[in-house]
Chains A and B, each alone.
Chain A
């Protein structure tokens, strides 16, 4: 039994079958990559896991509990954090404030009317946010507005924010999309470090094969809404079906 079990998931948008009978099992404490050509249904699948979309049929179980029908914030409180394709951070807030908000969410739950004490008096939160900023090598940027960060730093901040919630499953949606080579390599190193240092399961959707093969322990190949194969990176590399899906039949 994996920490995430997807069984028989179907999702249809009008005449388009975006996901057709998807089965997926992500084992605990592994890095699992989901790859596939454009339009394969990777993002749709991800959206079904976090509560943004509800599948027409099938089940999605996280740690033995169904996530279907729950709001994104509830699913997040269950232990699933999501990193977006374009970094979603609080642009108007400082880097430090960005890091504190998930710490509050972890400590106080989805809502807390904490309106009289000052932020500065929340020592435990400040300490936690500061140590996470240190881990992300961003302590020197703590007073900057998050909107002013570089693309790579925004990504780093977003990953740090997700980690400070101590999630059990981290979902990454093309974390290196649109990044320069150097930033991509930094992100790979960061993710490797996270994988080595923490008890965390990572599911990653990625186009960039360099990223996939440097990180993943298991790979699922998705094509036209259906999983083609699931295997280790070594076996996926030379798999004829994968070549076919990516390069067309004549290849």
Chain B
């Protein structure tokens, strides 16, 4: 279906179901229970899941296929956000021109940075991209925000003011980002007994965009172009001596992933019409690297999983404070309760990075292929359990010996 083989089609369908049913899947606990803490099905967070999913899927086209590790992709995300907010300021709150411009500007910007950075490979390439991203951050934070020429509005962040032109703004259009009048913020809450499920317009728009982005990524992975990118990662020398010019291949991959980042940035601004320089900082660039590696670089679904995983931690674990912990362990005797809370305290709340760091270490050491490898091993283990006693010959692939 859609020009994909059977396996990829089923993967796409699984992703589509997961994203469409996310409001249910992410809210498994009744809203008045103690476990409601762990519900992630609120619009803000769901939007972030899919937006960072797009970001990571695009990053994976560069890093997963060609092996070029960019530490500057947040710059394209930020550029996308700024472009989108400018469209809101100049035209109207309609998200279509905003997102389109975000993708175009991010594409042009990545063409420039990629053209220069790709003159080097390996660690030097990473450092060059990092340098460019930090320069972009400095530009956005201070240089391009002065009274004569204020493009980014400095540390306040770029936002829409009442006296902005908004030439195409219709009288009956909402004063928040919308798609032809359909507000991104409108949410329908379905109450089912103690459960509450939020269906948010913005989330579904992002989810549809992510599915299209994911579908395009599958096509790229399976195309001759995708194969060439994997060949670049495998052996550049052989590429050159096979009559293939590696530079335009890597540059194309860089620009495509930059456009994905711009798309994510544009959507981010479409959900909340504000763009700040911190979006371009190197920690943001590092985050997408973590997402991709955690999920499984070079796999299709890995980056989406990684993005969801990290965003879940950031938003859920960071909310567990001492009061919540005391609530959980209230059944223990007083002294013991305090002791347990003291032990857990550094790993939750503000210390969520610590837990994430430990998990990241474990994944990199024990599952170099990321969460996807974990899933594959689990599936293989289940299969071998099921087949125990039966014919052992047919299980597993025949691994050639070296």
What is the interface of chain A, defined by CB distance below 8 A to chain B? 50, 71-74, 76-77, 81-82, 84, 88-93, 97, 100-102, 104-106, 108-122, 125, 144-145, 147-149, 161, 165
**In the assembled complex, which residues on chain A have CB atoms less than 8 Å from the CB atom of B5?**
118, 120
CB contact between B222 and one of A88, A104, A118, A147 (< 8 Å): that residue: A118
Nearest chain B CB to A50 CB, angstrom units: 7
CB contact between B237 and one of A88, A92, A113, A125 (< 8 Å): that residue: A88
B33 adjacent to chain A (CB < 8 Å): no
**Complex CA distance for A104 and B226, rounded to whole angstroms:** 12
**In the assembled complex, which residues on chain A have CB atoms less than 8 Å from the CB atom of B235?**
88-91
B327 adjacent to chain A (CB < 8 Å): no
Please tell me if the beta carbons of B402 and A148 are within 8 angstroms of each other in the complex. Answer: yes
Taken residue by residue from 172 to 196, chain B's Cβ proximity to chain A (1 for < 8 Å, 0 otherwise) reads as 0000000000000000000000000
Please tell me if the beta carbons of A72 and B241 are within 8 angstroms of each other in the complex. Answer: yes
B224 adjacent to chain A (CB < 8 Å): yes
Of the listed residues A71, A73, A101, A119, the one surrounded by the most CB atoms of chain B closer than 10 A to its CB is A101
CB contact between B238 and one of A71, A88, A97, A115 (< 8 Å): that residue: A88
Tier of interface size on chain B: 20 to 34
**Complex CA distance for A158 and B5, rounded to whole angstroms:** 30
Please tell me if the beta carbons of A112 and B224 are within 8 angstroms of each other in the complex. Answer: yes
Please tell me if the beta carbons of A101 and B231 are within 8 angstroms of each other in the complex. Answer: yes
Nearest chain A CB to B16 CB, angstrom units: 20
Nearest chain B CB to A172 CB, angstrom units: 12
Please tell me if the beta carbons of A145 and B3 are within 8 angstroms of each other in the complex. Answer: no
Of the listed residues A81, A115, A149, the one surrounded by the most CB atoms of chain B closer than 10 A to its CB is A115
**Complex CA distance for A82 and B3, rounded to whole angstroms:** 36
Sampled A-B contacts (19; CB under 8 Å): A73-B243, A76-B240, A76-B243, A81-B241, A90-B231, A90-B238, A92-B230, A101-B231, A101-B242, A102-B242, A106-B243, A110-B243, A116-B220, A120-B222, A125-B224, A144-B400, A147-B402, A161-B238, A161-B242
Minimal Cβ-Cβ distance residue in A for B247: A111
CB contact between A104 and one of B3, B228, B238, B241 (< 8 Å): that residue: B228
Known: A73-B245, A110-B243, A115-B256. 17 other contacts (CB 8 A): A71-B245, A72-B241, A76-B242, A90-B231, A91-B234, A92-B233, A93-B231, A101-B227, A101-B239, A111-B244, A115-B220, A116-B3, A118-B223, A119-B222, A119-B224, A119-B227, A145-B400
Please tell me if the beta carbons of B243 and A77 are within 8 angstroms of each other in the complex. Answer: yes
Nearest chain B CB to A248 CB, angstrom units: 36
Nearest chain B CB to A198 CB, angstrom units: 18
What is the interface of chain B, defined by CB distance below 8 A to chain A? 3-5, 219-220, 222-228, 230-231, 233-235, 237-245, 248-249, 252, 256, 400-402
Nearest chain A CB to B83 CB, angstrom units: 24
**In the assembled complex, which residues on chain B have CB atoms less than 8 Å from the CB atom of A102?**
242-243
Q: For chain B, what secondary structure do more than half of its interface residues adopt (helix, strand, loop), or is it mixed?
A: helix
Q: From known contacts A88-B238, A89-B238, A90-B235, infer whether A105 and B227 are also in contact, taking CB-CB under 8 Å.
A: no
**In the assembled complex, which residues on chain A have CB atoms less than 8 Å from the CB atom of B238?**
88-90, 161
**Complex CA distance for A118 and B224, rounded to whole angstroms:** 7
Nearest chain A CB to B44 CB, angstrom units: 34
Please tell me if the beta carbons of B223 and A115 are within 8 angstroms of each other in the complex. Answer: yes
CB contact between A101 and one of B219, B222, B233, B244 (< 8 Å): that residue: B244
Nearest chain A CB to B144 CB, angstrom units: 33
**Complex CA distance for A144 and B238, rounded to whole angstroms:** 19
**In the assembled complex, which residues on chain A have CB atoms less than 8 Å from the CB atom of B234?**
90-93
Please tell me if the beta carbons of A111 and B400 are within 8 angstroms of each other in the complex. Answer: no
CB contact between A50 and one of B3, B4, B241, B400 (< 8 Å): that residue: B241
Of the listed residues B3, B4, B231, B252, the one surrounded by the most CB atoms of chain A closer than 10 A to its CB is B231
Please tell me if the beta carbons of B244 and A114 are within 8 angstroms of each other in the complex. Answer: no
**Complex CA distance for A239 and B238, rounded to whole angstroms:** 38
Of the listed residues A72, A84, A165, the one surrounded by the most CB atoms of chain B closer than 10 A to its CB is A72
Minimal Cβ-Cβ distance residue in A for B241: A82
Q: From known contacts A91-B234, A120-B5, A145-B400, infer whether A97 and B241 are also in contact, taking CB-CB under 8 Å.
A: no
**Complex CA distance for A102 and B227, rounded to whole angstroms:** 12
Nearest chain B CB to A81 CB, angstrom units: 7
**In the assembled complex, which residues on chain B have CB atoms less than 8 Å from the CB atom of A122?**
224
Nearest chain B CB to A146 CB, angstrom units: 8
